[in-house]
Amino acid sequence: MSTKKSIDTLNIFIKINNNRFESYILASKQINEYDLTTLFVGFQEKSKQYKAELVSEIQKLGGKPATESPIILLISKFWMELRSKFKIKDREDILNRCEYDADVTLKKYTKVLNNNIDYLSPKHQNIIKAQHQSIKKDHDTLKGLGDLLVTCRRFNLNTQT
């Protein structure tokens, strides 16, 4: 097993978590509902925890954890600020967008893991699989909240007729 390939693969997961973290920062800025903001902050914290776990493993392998280039950070921050100017006032819209982002994250985790499994030790595979399961649980929470909202809306519409 190539240590360099292991480090490169773990760094991909760091970048995925960086994107996930930024996505939930944006979501927090776009809605003024305490329960969702609290949920999104919790998801941000999980992404920071996952990243820290991966950084630790890369350092144990003697590697350097991934960091974004200053240009990428500048473009990303500009884009996030631009997107945050457009408040999403509809709870369903923000839940749908966050669920979609979680879907993308899950697909990336699966693809990277499947394409690079030979470069990851059993310990690293377990870490990645546990993170994937946790992100799946977060996704399911978002989906459940969205489904509940739709059900309540239907119920309210049906009772008005």
Q: pLDDT digit string (tens) for 46-66? A: 999 999 999 999 999 999 998
Instruction: State how far Cα 60 lies from the chain centre.
Output: 24
So what's the pLDDT on residue 22?
A: 87
Own/partner contacts of 33-41, CB < 8 Å, gap of 24 or more, are 33/91, 36/91, 36/94, 36/95, 39/141, 40/98
The C-alpha atoms of residue 108 and residue 132 are separated, in whole angstroms, by: 10
For the chain, what's the residue count?
161
Does 76 or 35 have the greater pLDDT score?
A: 35
Does 28 or 45 have the greater pLDDT score?
A: 45
Reported pTM: 0.84
